[in-house]
């Protein structure tokens, strides 16, 4: 018997029900693959966002909150670190470098960070990759700004363009620093991290634009003139910073320094190790991940049961077809094998279409994740472990098809020729 050709013709004859079954299985497989792929890619994207930083220090808060607002730009700080405390940290003998971060401003939905040139020298992401400039260079003049790749791409900025920062961290800011426009001095290479969605100015500039502001409100006549601010640039410094990234001379000193910072008496501080804080974040979200996996698994099971329902439903309609095959010399095991083979084709088609569907959704979601969270999600084929799961699903589909195959096997030629009223 030409089993393959016979199975194809049989499936084409029942194409409407078969297509619906394949679509059902494809949607369930697509959900399963998408959950696994996105979970893995997003996790890798978070881990890529910062590397080479030994400690992150902020005002007393939850470690995960400190990690989210300092690295990923999610949420706001409950308090700041005084400038005096920051200088004490910077002068500690165990510390090799510091990257101060002063947050609180936005530009058209993108956050602005006041920092020092230490950022461009010591910040690392991914596999300890340094920041690089696609165009221009670091800020030199007081009112120059360096922008991330996504900021330049989305807002169509080039070197030399002027922009105005807004006070506050909301997506729609009413208070503008329009008396101190900034000129773009550099555009960073894409990193696939929140760096791409950030604008960087100097700490002196951050202080200059906030002179004359009280509790988020501009006091008329109290602001500083831009030319005067340039003359006094060496004197300008913020009263506080939001957080500090620390690099140590020796990694072995990290635990002792972390304990000393957490016990700092002059000011309530929190020091975290980024890797450990990320692991804690994934432990918290682990329940959500397992729930998504469970839901995806149940959807796959529902798809396979739907296939079983279709096979059982059409089995009675195919009684005469099977009787004719028996009359032409087909053995019972051959008819049973035909049903199993058809089920295998349906399940395999659903898996293939589901994987392609997941890749399509992943490709469509990648730009949104990059634009919204600054996370680069690569569109890739499922990992080896996931292929094993898909293989197990195919075997499960074949196992399920044994039910109608066994029923067909037990039917006799006489039963197939009977006409039921």
* 413 — pLDDT class (breaks 50, 70, 90): very low
Would the pLDDT of 201 be above 90? Answer: yes
Give the position of tokens 């619906």: 20
Q: What is the pLDDT of residues 65-96, one digit of tens each?
A: 999 999 888 888 888 999 999 999 999 888 99
Taking phi over 0 as left and psi of -120 to 50 as alpha, with beta for the rest, 411 belongs to beta
CB atoms near residue 367 (< 10 Å): 11
pLDDT at 258: 93
* Contact of 240 with 178, CB cutoff 8 Å: no
Would the pLDDT of 344 be above 50? Answer: yes
Locate all alpha helices (DSSP H) within 137-273, ordered by sequence.
Answer: 149-155, 203-210, 226-231, 254-262
* 217 — pLDDT class (breaks 50, 70, 90): low
Q: Is 282 helix (H, G, I), strand (E, B) or coil?
A: helix
* Contact of 248 with 254, CB cutoff 8 Å: yes
Which whole-number Å values give the CA distances from 160 to 116, 209, 316, in the listed order? 21, 20, 76
Would the pLDDT of 13 be above 80? Answer: no
- In DSSP terms, 105 is beta-bridged to 112, 167
Over residues 134-139, mean pLDDT:
93
Q: List the domain boundaries for the chain.
A: 3-46+281-417, 55-272
Looking at the whole model, is its pTM more than 0.75?
no
Q: What is the DSSP letter of 74?
A: -
Rounded-to-10 torsion of CA 148, 150, 153, 157: -30
Q: What is the pLDDT of residues 139-154, one digit of tens each?
A: 988 999 999 998 998 8
Would the pLDDT of 244 be above 90? Answer: yes
Percent of the chain predicted with pLDDT > 90: 29
216 CA to centre of own chain: 33
Q: What is the pLDDT of residues 169-195, one digit of tens each?
A: 655 555 787 788 999 999 999 888 889
Residue 252 tokens read as: 């072995």
Which whole-number Å values give the CA distances from 286 to 42, 190, 296, 369, in the listed order? 13, 30, 15, 20
* 334 — pLDDT class (breaks 50, 70, 90): low
């Amino acid at each position: 018997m030409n089993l393959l050709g016979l199975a194809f013709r049989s499936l084409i004859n029942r194409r409407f029900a078969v297509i619906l079954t394949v679509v059902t299985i494809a949607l369930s497989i697509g959900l399963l693959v998408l959950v696994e792929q996105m979970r893995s890619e997003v996790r890798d994207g978070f881990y890529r966002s910062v590397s080479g930083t030994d400690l992150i220090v902020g005002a007393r808060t939850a470690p995960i909150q400190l990690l989210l607002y300092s690295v990923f730009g999610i949420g706001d700080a409950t308090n700041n670190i005084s400038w005096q405390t920051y200088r004490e940290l910077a002068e500690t003998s165990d510390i090799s470098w510091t990257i101060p971060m002063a947050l609180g401003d936005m530009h058209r939905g993108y956050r602005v960070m006041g920092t020092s040139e230490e950022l461009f020298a010591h910040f690392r992401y991914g596999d300890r990759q340094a920041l690089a400039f696609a165009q221009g260079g670091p800020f030199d003049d007081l009112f120059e700004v360096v922008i991330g790749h996504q900021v330049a791409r989305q807002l169509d900025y080039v070197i030399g363009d002027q922009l105005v920062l807004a006070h506050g961290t909301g997506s729609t800011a009413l208070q503008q620093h329009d008396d101190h426009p900034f000129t773009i001095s550099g555009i960073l290479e894409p990193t696939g991290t929140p760096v791409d969605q950030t604008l960087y100015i100097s700490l002196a500039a951050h202080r200059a634009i906030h002179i004359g502001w009280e509790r988020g409100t501009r006091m008329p006549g109290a602001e500083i003139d831009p030319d005067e601010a340039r003359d006094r640039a060496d004197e300008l410094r913020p009263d506080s910073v939001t957080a500090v990234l620390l690099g140590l001379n020796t990694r072995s000193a990290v635990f002792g320094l972390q304990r000393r910072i957490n016990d700092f008496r002059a000011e309530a501080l929190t020091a975290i190790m980024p890797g450990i804080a990320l692991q804690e974040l994934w432990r918290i979200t682990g329940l959500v991940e397992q729930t998504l996996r469970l839901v995806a698994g149940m959807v796959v099971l529902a798809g396979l049961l739907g296939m079983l329902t279709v096979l059982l439903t059409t089995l009675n309609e195919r009684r005469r077809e099977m009787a004719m095959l028996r009359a032409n010399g087909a053995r019972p095991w051959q008819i049973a094998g035909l049903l199993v083979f058809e089920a295998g084709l349906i399940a395999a088609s659903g898996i293939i279409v589901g994987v392609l569907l997941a890749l399509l959704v992943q490709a469509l979601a990648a730009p949104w994740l990059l634009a919204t969270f600054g996370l680069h999600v690569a569109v890739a084929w499922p990992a080896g472990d996931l292929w094993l799961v898909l293989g197990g699903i195919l075997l499960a589909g074949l196992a399920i098809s044994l039910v109608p195959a066994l029923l067909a096997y037990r039917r006799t030629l006489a039963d197939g020729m009977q006409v039921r009223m």
